[in-house]
Amino acid sequence: MAIVDEDIERLRASVSVVDVVQAYVALRKVGRNWSGLCPFHAEKSASFTVREEMGRYHCFGCGASGDVFKFIQEIEHTDFVGAVEQLATKAGIQLRYTTGGESKERLRRKKLIEAMETAVEWYHQRLLTSPDAREAREYLRRRGLSGDIARSFKLGWAPDDWDAMSRELGVAADLLRDTGLAFTNKRDRMQDSFRARVLFPIFSDSGEPLAFGGRILPGSTDPAKYKNSPETVVYSKSRTL
């Protein structure tokens, strides 16, 4: 059985990620955020940050990141349903369940989100480590976007290659098309939607990656300075932005 989506979102809106995390981690207010020692790896200086307005946490030390449900999953070693049920019990919220299992639409959406998560991480690692992203890293630094910010928001780099992501990602072609990550070109081959651009992932309120916004680097001959993902099953610009 699956939990009714409406109840999951109602629970998400009713719980504070700061309150939940503070039951496990000593936090202190730092500006608009909260900071403490990461519960997922040993450290002596606080690299774990909780952002109340985003409903998310991120560790700059080990990379642990997610929303309130992900935190409970990791800290309590449970699955998603278990995390939701635990939080609902504490919040006094009665959950409803579907009787027919997950619908085809929900299963499809889950696969699309997983494809997006894989792409976000692939592009992010290109930005952090690839020699061809050196100019992109320098551009971000000039704009005041430090390495910590790039890691926190999973900024990425799309290489100047027409199908690098499609080749290397290991994601089915139909998922690449349906997420807007790639398209079928005139040669009937998969072609990446983004090329030679700094990428800014667009997340849902619950932290799911839905789309990308891409920007060319200064000096590029591409006439389109900015490029966004197309509207898809998981991304609607009017509802998300």
- Quick check: helix, strand or coil at residue 182? strand
Bridge-based pairing of strands 182-184 and 190-192 is antiparallel
> Could you tell me the strand order of the sheet in which 156-158 lies?
156-158, 197-203, 209-215, 226-228
What is the per-residue burial (b if ≥16 Cβ within 10 Å, else e) of 88-108? Answer: beeeeeebeeeeeeeeeeeeb
pLDDT of 236 reads: 83
Helices 80-91 and 68-76, axial angle in degrees (round to 10): 110
Last residue of a domain, one of 79, 98, 117: 98
Query: Scanning the structure block, which residue is given the tokens 């790039």?
Result: 150
Grouping H, G, I as helix, E, B as strand and the rest as coil, residue 70 is: helix
Q: How far apart are CA 238 and CA 240, in angstroms?
A: 6
In angstroms, the CA 240 to CA 109 distance is 16
The CATH number of the domain holding residue 10 is 3.90.580.10
Domain boundary (72, 98, 124) is at: 98
The total domain count for the chain is 2
Is there a single domain that holds both residue 130 and residue 235? yes
Whether 13 and 128 map to the same domain: the answer is no
Q: With beta carbons less than 8 A apart as the criterion, state whether 197 and 227 touch.
A: yes
Examine the domain organization and report whether 223 and 134 are in the same domain.
Answer: yes
The Cα 166–Cα 119 span in angstroms is 9
Mean pLDDT, consecutive 10-residue stretches, the chain (241 aa), reads 87 94 95 94 93 91 91 90 92 86 75 95 97 97 92 95 95 96 96 98 84 96 94 80 55
Question: 175 lies in which domain range?
Answer: 105-240
pTM of the full predicted structure?
0.66
Chain position carrying tokens 């409970």: 72
**What is the reported pLDDT for 238?**
64
- 51 bridge partner residues: 56
Same domain, 127 and 19: no
- Say if residue 204 is in the same domain as residue 132: yes
Same domain, 23 and 110: no
End-to-end CA distance of the chain: 32
Q: What is the pLDDT of residue 106?
A: 74
The tens digit of pLDDT for each residue in 9-31 reads: 999 999 999 999 999 999 999 99
Same domain for 20 and 78?
yes
Tell me: do 79 and 118 sit in the same domain: no
